[in-house]
Every structure is written in C-alpha cells, then in structure tokens.
C-alpha cells in the first residue's frame, strides 16, 4: 500500500510557477482545501479557462509576491482582479506556505467591442446622439420635399389633372388663401355695354382657368417652403460637420480603460495575439496581481 506524501513547507518567494486547473482542489493542512481556480463575474457563466499558469514576477519590496497569470480567453474577455491565495504553514500571513495549497481567485470582464477593432471606445454623449438623430431627420425631410416638388412639377406638365396640391397647403394656415376673391363681380359683363372690352384670349388646347398671378403665387409659396426646409437641413448638416471637424482636430484625450472591477488600479492586463484569428477568436490574455496567505 502506497503511503501518502507528507506535507511539505516551501518559501512563498521561492515558488516560480503555478499551474492551476479548473475543478481541482488545493492541498490543505490547517484549513479546508479550496478550488484551484475561482472565477467571478458575469462572463464566468459563459466561459472559464481550463488551465491558468501564474509566474512569479518578484517581490514588491514589502514581502508581497507579484504574479503574472496567463490563460486562453475569448477576444472579448480579459482578466480583472487577480489574486493568488496560499495556506500559511503556521498562520495566516506566514512567509512559508504549504506546497500545493495555492489557488487563484480572479475576475473575468468583458471589454468594449470597439477596442478589438481598434476604434475609439468612448461612448457618444446623449447630446451627440440627439444632434445626429435631428440631422438625419432634417436630411430625410429635405429629401422628401425635393422629391415631392420634382414629381409635382412633372405631373403639372404632363398630367395636370393628377397634380397634387403644393406642400404649402398642408402647413397650418397654408390652405386658407383660397377663400378670398369673391367681391370682384361689379364690373361690366357681356351684353351690358360699358367700357371697351379687350380682345378674347388666344386659343389654347388646355384652357387654364386659374386667374392670372394665382399660379405664380402658389408656385412661389411652394418654392419658398421647399427652399426654407432645404436651407434648414443644409445649415444643420454644415453645423454638424463643422462640430465633428473641430472634435477631430482637438487633442485626443488620454486612453481610458473601462472600470469593470472595483480594484482595477491594482492590476493591468496584457494581450499577445497568438494568430488564432481576429475578434471572436481565442487569444492569450494575462492579468497581474498579488498574494494572500490564509
């Protein structure tokens, strides 16, 4: 019958590498064993690395060993908080630890998708989104007005009976201009004598019963309305483009790393592309952290 190996004491600073596996437990003597890998964060429900390898990066000068922990992670995930925990040989905080008792407690965080494509991860402000929506709305309105006016002019030329009313008739108060003109019946009529009458109008294939000047006024109102909205849309477009140009010319702000974890300032992450594909593939990710002894 094989005898179990007795517990071994090892200096924490002398440990060079830790290879930790998901689902495995640590060795224990004074305390209960813990999982070699413990993941925290919402992404853990979708993915956890099977193996994480931590390398001793040296002492921070205060007796706390620093670790670089690496694993294969999806391109959209990175390590957050990273902390190695080992069982102290005689007490918590002991510089000597039980061999095989170290485990890793870490966070997985999801990064902005724009970072993977090399884009600016800054989220646009609500004002910028509102201006963009207003710009596109004005652009669509101007395009509609121009298209409506073009189709109306074609119908007025080739199919007058199908010509739709001008846009000015749809505006508040725009359709009330046709109620006047009822008081001009006092002039001399045919057969009643009076002043000399002018010659009859020339013959036309399509007789236009519209009084002189009315069509010009209507066309002028329609054109002025279309010109107003077109000018407004053009002005909005110019303002928007000028604002964007000024933002591009202004000094770029310092890169920001999104704070997905409360202790983000205690670590940084590194990423080495292993050539396994672009966004959506697997990459080698690393997290940095310290040590606690329980």
Other beta carbons less than 10 A from residue 293's beta carbon: 22
As a whole-number percent, the residues of the chain with pLDDT over 70 amount to: 56
Rounded Cα distance between 123 and 145, Å, is 34
pLDDT in tens, 218-237: 444 444 445 555 566 666 66
Residue pair 75/285 in contact (Cβ under 8 Å)? The answer is: no
Quick one: average pLDDT of 249-258?
47
Residue pair 69/133 in contact (Cβ under 8 Å)? The answer is: no
Other beta carbons less than 10 A from residue 129's beta carbon: 11
At 258, the pLDDT band (50, 70, 90 cuts) reads very low
Q: Output DSSP code: residue 253.
A: P
Listed in sequence order, the residues at least 6 apart from 168 whose beta carbon sits closer than 8 Å to its beta carbon are 174, 175, 218, 221, 222, 225
Both tokens of 247, joined, read: 């933002």
Q: What is the pLDDT of residue 195?
A: 46
Rounded Cα distance between 283 and 41, Å, is 19
The torsion defined by the Cα of 38, 40, 43 and 47, in degrees rounded to 10, comes to 0
pLDDT at 274 over 60: no
pLDDT in tens, 71-129: 999 988 999 999 999 999 999 999 999 999 999 999 999 986 655 555 555 555 566 77
Helix segments in the chain, DSSP class H: 113-116, 126-158, 214-249
Rounded Cα distance between 72 and 83, Å, is 18
Q: End-to-end distance of the chain based on CA atoms, in angstroms? A: 33
pLDDT in tens, 188-208: 444 444 445 556 555 555 545
Residue pair 43/253 in contact (Cβ under 8 Å)? The answer is: no
Q: What is the pLDDT of residue 218?
A: 45
Quick one: average pLDDT of 10-26?
95
> Which residues make beta-bridge pairs with 283?
73
Q: Output DSSP code: residue 199.
A: P
Both tokens of 39, joined, read: 């993941």
CA distances (Å), origin 112, targets 43, 138, 142, 263, 264: 13, 31, 36, 19, 16
> Which residues make beta-bridge pairs with 110?
77
pLDDT at 247 over 70: no
pLDDT at 54 over 90: yes
**Strand 103-110 versus strand 37-40 pairing type:** parallel
pLDDT in tens, 139-187: 898 888 888 888 888 888 888 888 888 877 777 665 544 444 444 444 4
102 in helix, strand or coil? coil
Rounded Cα distance between 80 and 209, Å, is 80
> Which residues make beta-bridge pairs with 59?
65
């Amino acid at each position: 019958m094989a005898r179990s190996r007795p517990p071994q004491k090892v200096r924490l600073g002398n440990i060079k590498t830790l290879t930790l596996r998901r689902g495995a437990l640590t060795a224990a003597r004074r305390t209960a064993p813990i999982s070699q890998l413990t993941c925290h964060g919402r992404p853990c429900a979708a993915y956890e690395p099977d193996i994480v390898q931590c390398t001793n990066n040296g002492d921070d000068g205060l007796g706390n060993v620093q670790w670089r922990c690496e694993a294969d992670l999806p391109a959209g995930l990175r390590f957050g908080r990273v902390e190695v925990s080992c069982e102290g040989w005689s007490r918590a905080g002991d510089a000597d630890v039980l061999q095989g008792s170290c485990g890793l407690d870490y966070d997985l965080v999801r990064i902005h998708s724009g970072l993977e494509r090399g884009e600016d991860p800054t989220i646009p402000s609500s004002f910028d989104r509102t201006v963009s929506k207003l710009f596109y709305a004005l652009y669509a309105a101007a395009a509609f007005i121009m298209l409506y006016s073009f189709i109306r002019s074609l119908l007025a030329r080739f199919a007058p009976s199908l010509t739709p009313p001008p846009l000015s008739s749809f505006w508040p108060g725009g359709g009330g201009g046709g109620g006047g003109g009822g008081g001009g019946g006092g002039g001399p009529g045919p057969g009643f004598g009076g002043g000399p009458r002018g010659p009859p109008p020339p013959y036309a294939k399509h007789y236009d019963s519209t009084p002189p000047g009315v069509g010009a006024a209507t066309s002028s109102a329609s054109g002025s309305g279309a010109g107003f909205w077109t000018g407004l849309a053009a002005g909005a477009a110019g303002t928007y483009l000028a604002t964007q140009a000024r933002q591009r010319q202004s000094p770029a702000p310092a890169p920001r790393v999104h704070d997905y974890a409360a202790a983000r300032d205690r670590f940084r992450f590194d990423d080495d592309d292993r050539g396994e594909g672009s966004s959506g593939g697997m990459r080698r990710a690393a997290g940095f952290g310290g040590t606690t002894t329980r």
